[in-house]
Amino acid sequence: MAAKAETFEMDMLDGPTVAQVALRSASFRMATHKAGDDDQSGERQRKNEKKKGDDGGWPKGVYRGRTLSRADSYQAATDEPNLFLNPELDSPSKKRPFAYDNDSDEESVFLDAEEQRRAALRRPKRVRKPRHGTTKSKSGKRLEGLKKEIEVDFHTVELGVLVDRFQTDVVRGMDAAAARERLEQDGPNALTPPKVTPQWVKFLNAQFGDGFSLLLWLGAVLCFIAYTIQEVVAEEDEPPERDNLYLGSVLAGVVIITGFFSYFQESKSSKIMDSFKKMVPPTAMVIRSGKTVPIPAADLVVGDIVQVKFGDRIPGDIRILESSGLKVDNSSLTGESEPQSRIPDCTHTNPLETKNLAFFSTNALEGTAKGMIVQVGDLTVVGRIANLASGVDSGPTPISIEIAHFIHLISAVAIFLGVTFFIIAIALGYKWLDAVIFLIGIIVANVPEGLLATVTVCLTLTAKRMAAKQCLVRNLEAVETLGSTSCICSDKTGTLTQNRMTVAHMFYDMKLYEADTTEDQSQNTPDKASPTWWALAHVAGLCNRATFGEDQESDPILSRVCNGDASESALLKCIELSWGKVDVLRESNPKVVEIPFNSANKYQVSVHDQKTNPSYLLVMKGAPERIMDRCSKVMVRGKEEAMTPEIRAECDQACETLGGLGERVLGFCHLFLDPEKYPHGFNFDTDNVNFPMEDLCFVGLMSMVDPPRDAVPDAVKKCRTAGIKVIMVTGDYPVTAAAIARQVGIISEGSKTVEDIAKQENIPVASVNPKRARAAIIHGSSLRDMPEDKLDRILKTHAEIVFARTSPQQKLLIVEGCQRLGHVVAVTGDGVNDSPALKRADIGVAMGIAGSDVSKQAADMILMDDNFASIVTGVEEGRIIFDNLKKSIAYTLTSNIPEISPFLIFIIVSIPLPLGTITILFIDLGTDMVPAISLAYEQAESDIMMRKPRDSKKDRLVNQRLISLAYGQIGMIQAAAGFFTYFVIMAENGFLPNRLVGLRESWDDRDNQWVEDSYGQQWTYLTRKKLEYTCHTAFFVSIVVVQWADLIISKTRRNSLFQQGMRNHMLTFGLFFETALACIFSYTPGLGTGLRTYPLRGTWWVAAMPFSLAIFLYDEWRKWMLRRQPPGGFFERETYY
């Protein structure tokens, strides 16, 4: 409940307020009385105030157009930010409530009312500093303030109080000069743009801000360092090998290219405030100095008297002074799909619920009104939402956390191996400089050069696939986030429902019928043979201001665009479907006079001239209780009968039943006017009503609802099966929200709330243990002052929850509550009110059709068909890509062992180098890239949507089991294949394995031209190197051969290849691609000089094939044991990654 702000009188600062402020109040009062007794002294002080730059213009106790409360006085004294004001007011250019005397250490005092007004606007020069460690940062405090509920008194205080407060006149408006002065003081009626990150900072962040990029940069720098060391120590006639230079350049090139890609992706990021600016109206009609003039909306100030009419956008938060049937569209702020009437009277203490406030940027749908501007710019409701949306952040995505974890693992392995072999090299007698080169080489060899590009391309491919399924991804990392989702906070209107009011039920002839909404009327549900039905159709068609848009005759009736509010449009479509041409009905019964619907009467009445009948027909619709109160008769089977208490009770019961279904119920009645009393041409008067409004004949009821989308119940069921909690968060009323929740399965059949249990057992609600209730329906009003621990308890206790009548701040708090419980939260929304929650969620999902620009800019993903079922498709795609990324990484990391082990054996055993740097690059950036990416096309294994959401603490993208399988099992077999091929080629050329041990120093000596093999043959340096490079090529080819099997086994983590099949044609292409690339590198003439690759004999390809077969058979056996054992068995614990 909004607390009524109190006028800033010093004698109110007693009791629980700050003691020091209370003590000061006495001196304030004394100075005030003294100044009041001495007019000259007061005048002097006022002149001094003007010299100090105070521009005045506000009444006593008002700060930026708002009465200061006790809370404000405390915040002013302690330099805390005011929760209800513009968060940007902490800047030095803004005003503060207290002023201090420049000439003394004592605070300046309030003098008279004018001085109090001025002093309330001045910034203090000395403020009491908070104790260290007790406060948050300024931005943090700002956000915490914005998360608080709006507490203002503009709607509750008397109009005269507002007039005095803002020094305005409801008839003549503000004085033009005073308005200009206030505009200079407060600034324009516009939203303050947030700080913009410079493009060069974004570019540098794309190049260096990612952990993966830093790892590659580190590798590149180490390569350049190693090459520099080699260059420095090399002899003049022996230039160093340039392998490290090439490798460093390639690493730098990879990270620069992917950085550019990330930068351009980021350049499309959200521009939320720009979307909010589009909502600001360009001009407004304002009364200034007694004249009504159009001015730019940005020039409006608090206290201005403005006029609005249908079609206008409200130019600020206004207090309604006069209204003539004004209705506004608050759906963007509150989620209410129905137009809301605005009247001068306060109807609720909550400013968002009351009917005498209209809010900045909402649209006036019909009627006219005059109002007083009470808030402008950032202080408006929309301004607070805009600042909240631009200030919150969802933090790192799950995939970025996983990649960071992966980098930590790889770095740990690389550093461990590097340091270990540095120590071994020193122990073996190597020079420390050589040992440093070895250390750098081992660390760089562990860097997966192609993996960053692989992950980016895999996410991009999945994003394209999701776009084909109506899910447009704005942030690549959001692709996987949706798959990690464990909780979905969904809006109701337009997401779970069709965002189209439809007639659902009819009640006439004392029977309840389900409406037939099919185009061909094939259901034939209502009894159309009854005369009462025709009477009901006449009233619904005639007492209706909605019309169809032009040039839509060929379109399906339910798809046509209507001019009019949602309820009347639903009635129009229903009658058009079931009765026929409504325009023909209206032409034959032209409207003579009408009393429009208003919130006071809650009915609409019109009189029609029946061309086929001498009597006029009066038709009325409205709230059922108001309609039945005016009826003394009821039509049953075409005959009028007396409205007895029994019939009235039966009608009330039908109304209650329909209302319990969450449907909006309207009553209908009519009366044929006596032609003698009301002859043709009678002058009907709607101001002084001169026709009957009582003793009417009740015809029936019609109820409307925004029906659920057909695919939603199945989608919710899939979410439950997948272990995803679905919470409805809506601005609609609890009854309607609960009814839709039960229809779509968010509240499952048989689930009971605390209220249901209390009613069933006839006990107080407070006596029911909340843990007994599976479901809960929480009203937004109960969230206003709810502590975090209680909200967390609700979210944890109840499996099925509906939050109704929630504000934007409450939606944000609900999301944060779910995140505190460890959920990965997806939020759907389409309105401005959803933008803070969309931004804060782990993944925000906006609606492509009905969604506002603001919600789309705040979201990570957009549903192009506005269908909740598309989210489930996205969840499945997200889970698939996470699994497939695991497979791609496992495939890529496996080749690290055959790449690193030659270098390690080269150091320890001192044999000629089996694999060179250039050929390592061929693998990482050549043959492995397309196969790794092809795994992104792999179909889901059978259990993808049957398992629970992944536990972010246990189910990591890269875990110890994956490292163990890739490095310790498959990688070892691949390394064995490479060394076998290496030793075969060396043996065929005369170097048996025992001769190779310890040969490295002589082998690499340029001056040694007579190295002998096992058979006594002498080899020159050039012939030795040609043989070495041939071994490099063969080792490279052997890795390609064993990677065939590795790619095939990476298709699944649990299923057999024979279960999964070879339906991934991109993977098949990948197999052929890497083989063709290996052939090109091996057999293309001229590459031997530049890339040091040499042609191989066909038999050398065969050497690695038995190892490839061994990999396939081993993994098939492992997966068979995995499926055979119960969950949690040895093979799952040790090998299931």
- What pLDDT sits at residue 304? 94
The mean pLDDT of 636-662, rounded to a whole number, is 91
- What pLDDT sits at residue 96? 31
CA–CA dist 210, 260 (Å, integer): 13
- What pLDDT sits at residue 981? 96
Percentage of residues of the chain with pLDDT beyond 90: 34
Minimum mean pLDDT range among 433-447, 927-941, 1008-1022: 433-447
CA–CA dist 622, 667 (Å, integer): 6
CA–CA dist 1039, 978 (Å, integer): 6
Residue 1066 contacts residue 1003 (beta carbons within 8 Å): no
Percentage of residues of the chain with pLDDT beyond 70: 82
- What pLDDT sits at residue 308? 93
- Write down the mean pLDDT value for the chain: 80
Whether pLDDT at 1072 is above 90: yes
Q: Which residues contact 697 (CB under 8 A, 6 or more apart)?
A: 631, 633, 634, 635, 640, 669, 670, 671
Whether pLDDT at 270 is above 50: no
- What pLDDT sits at residue 46? 41
Q: What is the DSSP letter of 729?
A: E
CA–CA dist 406, 455 (Å, integer): 12
pLDDT in tens, 779-793: 888 887 889 899 999
The mean pLDDT of 268-280, rounded to a whole number, is 55
In degrees, to the nearest 5, what angle opens at C-alpha 1027 toward C-alphas 1021 and 1032?
120
With CA atoms as reference, report the closest residue to 563 among 554, 552, 555: 552
- What pLDDT sits at residue 141? 56
| Confidence band of 523 (pLDDT split at 50, 70, 90) | low
Contacts 24+ apart (CB under 8 A), 525-533: 526/578, 528/578, 530/637, 530/638, 531/635, 531/637, 531/638, 532/508, 532/635, 532/636, 532/637, 532/638, 532/699, 532/700, 533/506, 533/508, 533/509
pLDDT in tens, 109-131: 323 333 433 333 333 333 333 33
- What pLDDT sits at residue 269? 45
| Confidence band of 805 (pLDDT split at 50, 70, 90) | confident
The residue among 43 and 977 whose pLDDT is bigger is: 977
- What pLDDT sits at residue 774? 92
pLDDT in tens, 5-31: 333 333 333 333 333 333 233 333 333
CA–CA dist 718, 138 (Å, integer): 44
pLDDT in tens, 42-68: 444 443 443 333 433 333 333 333 333
The residue among 605 and 449 whose pLDDT is bigger is: 605
| Confidence band of 84 (pLDDT split at 50, 70, 90) | very low
- What pLDDT sits at residue 320? 95
- What pLDDT sits at residue 196? 67
The mean pLDDT of 378-382, rounded to a whole number, is 87
- What pLDDT sits at residue 415? 81
Contacts 24+ apart (CB under 8 A), 850-857: 850/494, 850/499, 851/494, 852/275, 852/332, 853/275, 853/278, 854/272, 854/275, 854/276, 854/279, 854/386, 854/389, 855/829, 855/830, 855/831, 856/275, 857/270, 857/271, 857/272, 857/274, 857/275
The mean pLDDT of 1107-1126, rounded to a whole number, is 93
pLDDT in tens, 190-217: 887 766 677 778 778 777 776 667 777 8
| Confidence band of 597 (pLDDT split at 50, 70, 90) | confident
Q: What's the pTM?
A: 0.71
- What pLDDT sits at residue 339? 79
The mean pLDDT of 853-863, rounded to a whole number, is 82
pLDDT in tens, 763-777: 998 888 888 999 999
Task: Identify any residues that bridge with 593 across adjacent strands, giving them in sequence order.
Answer: 607
- What pLDDT sits at residue 806? 86
Which one of 72, 210, 243, 491 is the catalytic residue? 491
Distance separating the N- and C-terminal Cα atoms of the chain: 53
pLDDT in tens, 998-1049: 998 899 888 888 899 999 899 999 999 999 999 999 999 999 999 999 999 9
- What pLDDT sits at residue 239? 67
Determine whether 491 is an active site residue.
yes
- What pLDDT sits at residue 307? 94
Pairing of strands 363-375, 305-309: antiparallel
- What pLDDT sits at residue 77? 32
- What pLDDT sits at residue 694? 93
Q: How many CB atoms lie within 10 A of CB 653?
A: 12
